[in-house]
Every structure is written in structure tokens, then in C-alpha cells.
Amino acid sequence: SSSSYFFAGAAISRSLVRVENLKKDSLQSDKIFLDCLEQMGCEVAFKGNAVEVKGRKLRGIRVDLGNAPDIVPSLAVVAAVAEGKTVIENISHLALKESNRLEAIVKNLNACGIRAFSSGDSLEIEGGNPKGSVIKTFDDHRIAMSFSVLGIHTCGMVIDNPACVTKSFPNFYSELDKVYGV
């Protein structure tokens, strides 16, 4: 699911990103994330062994991510800048990850001025114009990476423990900088 952050960056910044080694018939959650982005308005094109995502005007969606929990934080930050409401369903198990990801997402989106709440099994996000904030990662690498991506769109984003990304993607910030110059 590491490519979801770069796809989310393209969606949020309305730019183009190309990721190698992801096939159209992949069973990885990255492929599910691409389906979500396409529903939200992005252009997604598979070209051989690569995929390109072009960000466009985004709209909220309703989606069941029970089988793809690792992409929920990435989708949540994209939903923060989409027009309308996004509902992500069947995700109660996110409370049992490295952090309570449902709570972490809601608290951080609210801190950014985005209306979000969790009903235990779902997450609702009303898109808008997020503002910079200090992001509490709860030592969760996926929260840190997702909200770092939101910083592409939103000035003043501060990640309280950026080093927690070393759990899954030690060079995340250098790769994000190569693509988006953050």
C-alpha cells in the first residue's frame, strides 16, 4: 500500500504521478485505492507494468474498505479535499491497528478544520479546505505518511513524530520530496 501515498498526492495536488511495477490485475490494496480515486474523479491509466494517476476535481464517494484497511488513512486525506461527503464502511478493525486509526484520523482531520466522525464501523468525512495543524501520529506510520501527503495541499502541516514511518517506509520523506518537492 506504499504507492497509495503518491497516488493520493496526485489526487490532492491535481498533478500526474507514475508508479512502476503495479499491474492492472494486482490484488494489492493499491489497486483498490486506484478504483476509489477513479470514482472520485481522477484519471487512472495502466500502461504496461506501470500506472499513472492524474488528479482532477474530486467528489466524495461511499466505499466498503473492509478488505483494504491500510489504505483508509490515504483515502481519508483525499476525502478531506473532495467536494461532498465520503463514507468509508466496514472498518471497525482499524481501531485495533498500531493506533486506533479511526480515532487518529477523526482527531487529525478535525484539527485541520475538516468535519469527520466515526460511528465505530464507518468513517464520514465532509470535504472542504483543510488548514495546517500539528498532526498527532500516535506513533502510527500510516497516519504520519497520510497526513504528510495532505501537507502537499495544505501549508503549515507539522507531523509530531515523523520518524515513525521507518516501520514500513524508512525513506518515505525523501521519496515524497523527489515527487512533490515538499
Cβ atoms within 10 A of the Cβ of 145, count?
Answer: 27
Give the C-alpha separation, 76 to 99, whole Å. Answer: 16
Cβ atoms within 10 A of the Cβ of 134, count?
Answer: 11
- Active site residue ranges: 70
Torsion of CA 83, 90, 95, 154, to 10 degrees: -10
How far from 166 is each of 8, 49, 140, CA to CA, in Å?
A: 20, 27, 10
